[in-house]
Structure 1
């Protein structure tokens, strides 16, 4: 295997000059840079990435921590982050936290140990106080789908309360007053905010919140399935179902069809997130758009601006959800 010394000899330049070329240092003329590149090509020399990072104090890698690797939601998030960083010549290292405090801490520590230049994390088990202390460390850290007071400029967030409000308001505007609600786990900030938005819409329309028409799900299809089953087994009267994400809406819709409930004629359903399958299930799911792919792009831009000094980048920190009106909500006469 060729060495940096052989490249230096063939190009007729110093080791320091070869190192500058490898690390894209601007203090090298174009003519000299080309001589080094030609020598590297001729010898088949490939720079050692670890040595590069030690020399430049930059690994050109960004750590990503998400709750899960399965599912369309996190796939869209990671795709947005990775494509933006790759276009800038950076790479990603990915691990998971499974919405568990200790596993999220382990994941963050692992990424820091990999000498990542920065971290982009989607965490649900860690407290704001812990994240504030973490942000004081030497590795820059940025947060997806969450706002933490005092470090707002490290956060890319969605107004989840507005999204929950829009979902329930859509049902109310279509004449539905008996509205069942399947929430996400209330330990998760986004699920809690969406539920607050749901109750806000009910209050605005003068409809009291009914504990019987509430079920706390798990953000998975089984949560929607089990929630709708619970409502039906109790013999409750409701014409519409608001789900805190599309996966639970899908599970509820499957259970409804399996039990002879016509959608949306007998039961209107709305989801949240607008993940890719929501437009392909039957009926096509009316949902609240969560632009997580775009937010992923923006989180990557935040890193490029603050860590890699790409000063010409404009960052948008907060995103608003919007209604995606499809076929799963009917209007009552």
Structure 2
């Protein structure tokens, strides 16, 4: 059986140096690390992380917990997983779960993770976050703002993003807005709605009450709610409907096609997220670039710093989303 001693001998380094080469963020020169990895590959050596965890008290597992995992989040889900995995050290595993499905924190979470990224959309997650804090598990919360002194936090300024979107719609000549919002329990829905209302009020734009809808962040919500708007007399329609996600907007676009309407000639639509489908729809969606990947990537960096004890003070990062102008908003 090949041991770390064999790897060290072949690489021409000490046993401790060879061992540290497999430890994330260790103070070892890259050229030395490459020599150790080359020797390990030649000898078909794999470090025994189970044995090492008994000594170091590390589990070599990072947890990613979302408010909930559901069928309508395929693009959203893949962005989170791919971004988290990109920053994951090679000797770590990634474990993904929905907070809403956890039944026993002690059995499922406590003593099983070196650190956790919480992708939080709801205040309902606060109980889970408090338990992570109590269990002294290094934690980073991304997506929504939290004001907890020992928890690192990364979120996007969705409120300002909506200010910029409404400003653009106004500049295109629109004065009557509709809104199809996402889940009422999610903070993102509330923040985006507040941003729309604030800027519309500032610009003296009219938010049409009968065209203000709330459902889920899903294609179905977009289709159903847009049909409700379009089934009203045309004189009651808004000229532009702001959707709280691209999935909602794509569902709304389908409803417009069912009514033989041309977007944006007959009615304009916008989304939020800038998912790949928003670029290839007909028309392509004017939307907001949700910096989800950037939030997750920085969340992993913050977390690894916490795990290695190199971060001493609470870290907070606020990211500004970008307006993506495409073809779904007409010039009035």
Within 1, Cα distance between the matches of 2:322 and 2:35? 55
How does 1:218-257 map onto structure 2 within 5 Å?
A: 218-235=216-233, 236-257=236-257
Q: TM-score, normalising length from structure 2?
A: 0.81
How does 1:33-182 map onto structure 2 within 5 Å?
A: 45-66=45-66, 67-68=68-69, 70-86=73-89, 89-97=90-98, 102-103=100-101, 110-113=108-111, 115-125=112-122, 126-128=124-126, 130-151=128-149, 154-182=152-180
Query: Is the CA contact (8 Å cut-off) linking 2:283 and 2:327 kept in structure 1?
Result: yes
- Deviations 1:113-168 (CA, angstroms, capped at 9, x unpaired): 5x321011213352436524532322111111011113485111011212222233
Runs of 5+ unmatched residues, structure 2: none
Give the paired residue count: 315
Query: Is the CA contact (8 Å cut-off) linking 2:7 and 2:18 kept in structure 1?
Result: no
Q: Which moved more, 1:214-223 or 1:124-133?
A: 124-133
Q: Give me the CA root mean square deviation.
A: 3.5
- Deviations 1:275-301 (CA, angstroms, capped at 9, x unpaired): 122111111110011111111111111
Q: Which moved more, 1:318-327 or 1:101-110?
A: 101-110
Query: Is the CA contact (8 Å cut-off) linking 2:288 and 2:324 kept in structure 1?
Result: yes
Q: Which moved more, 1:259-268 or 1:170-179?
A: 170-179
CA shift in 2, pair 1:325/1:152, >3 Å: farther
Within 2, Cα distance between the matches of 1:264 and 1:319? 30
Within 2, Cα distance between the matches of 1:308 and 1:277? 39
Q: TM-score, normalising length from structure 1?
A: 0.81
- Deviations 1:63-106 (CA, angstroms, capped at 9, x unpaired): 112333742123122222211224xx343423231xxx642565
Within 2, Cα distance between the matches of 1:38 and 1:256? 59
Deviation (angstroms), 1:230 = 0.8
How does 1:166-205 map onto structure 2 within 5 Å?
A: 166-205=164-203
Within 2, Cα distance between the matches of 1:93 and 1:265? 46
Query: Is the CA contact (8 Å cut-off) linking 2:177 and 2:205 kept in structure 1?
Result: no
Deviation (angstroms), 1:241 = 0.8
Deviation (angstroms), 1:10 = 11
How does 1:3-14 map onto structure 2 within 5 Å?
A: none
Within 2, Cα distance between the matches of 1:106 and 1:147? 26
For residue 87 of structure 2, give the secondary structure of its aligned residue in structure 1.
helix
Deviation (angstroms), 1:59 = 3.0
Query: Is the CA contact (8 Å cut-off) linking 1:225 and 1:254 kept in structure 2?
Result: yes
CA shift in 2, pair 1:330/1:48, >3 Å: same
